[in-house]
Structure 1
Amino acid sequence: MTRVYGERATELRKVFEAAPGQQLTRQSLYERMGATEVGKADERRNIRNTLPALVRCGFVAKEGLGSAATYQGTGKAKRAPKAPEELADTKRQRNAQRTATTAVRTRAARVAQQAANTPAPAKVEALHSGETVDQFLARGGRVQRLTAHWEQAA
């Protein structure tokens, strides 16, 4: 979410925390957030766009469809942000795991892997160069004669 949606999501969570157990429609959310005036259509649209993210995260439960849908806070708390030391530690662990799984391979190993994964080319019959039609028929070949367009017109 962008910063604006993050701020709006925080405001929406506060509205749901202030009304535990209540099922709120979008209209009642607009009223509680002060977005019912005529010039606040963009704010109402932004609230409408933020609600699905809160539902996906589990902060809000939704019942129904469309304008008749009701929303209710689940009581799930937002996770506290990690300290910079924790973030650096998890990043270090993730990078160590990534380098362990993708071990540095030599060029020969990569070429061998590529050769193993490449399907073998289908065998193509060698063409007999300089062979006449009679020789081709003599060794069992079949010739299909197609009529030309000028022959078909007659």
Structure 2
Amino acid sequence: MRRMPEEPVIHPSQVMLIRNTQDGQAECLLMDRRTLHVSCTAAELLEHFCLQYGSTMKGRQDAFRMIMHTRQKTPVMISHSSRRIFFPVVSPDDPDCVWLCSNEILKCRNRGNGRSTVMFMNGDEYELDHDARTLLKQMKRCEKYLQMFT
């Protein structure tokens, strides 16, 4: 795993979306409408976020799999206290995988031809090459998981 850069410091509560770029680095869409590039992959950034709260990404995903009886596209709850949970749109092994913060999504809608638009709580929209039904299913799984800890 590559070492996280010293600067800039990113807190998980600022991030709405994480995706890998062509050069193998992560790009984050932040709540204040900035886009930030970091010198690690999306998975490495999520691992860093989990470690900030005393767990590993694998540990968080193993817990989700065990509790929810699921195996594919496993979400990652960064912290039980903050209840921030990110889910992958496709397999995390796919280089085009986008991770969305379930807590920040206002709604999803189909655009046709297997495309969808995600609207975030701050009003930003992001278009994806995936059907909204898949995103909504992932969001429901995240919501159900969070309800277990209420």
TM-score for the superposition, normalised by structure 1: 0.25
Q: Which has the higher strand share?
A: 2
Q: Which has the higher Rg, Structure 1 or Structure 2?
A: 1
TM-score for the superposition, normalised by structure 2: 0.26
Q: Which has the higher helix share?
A: 1
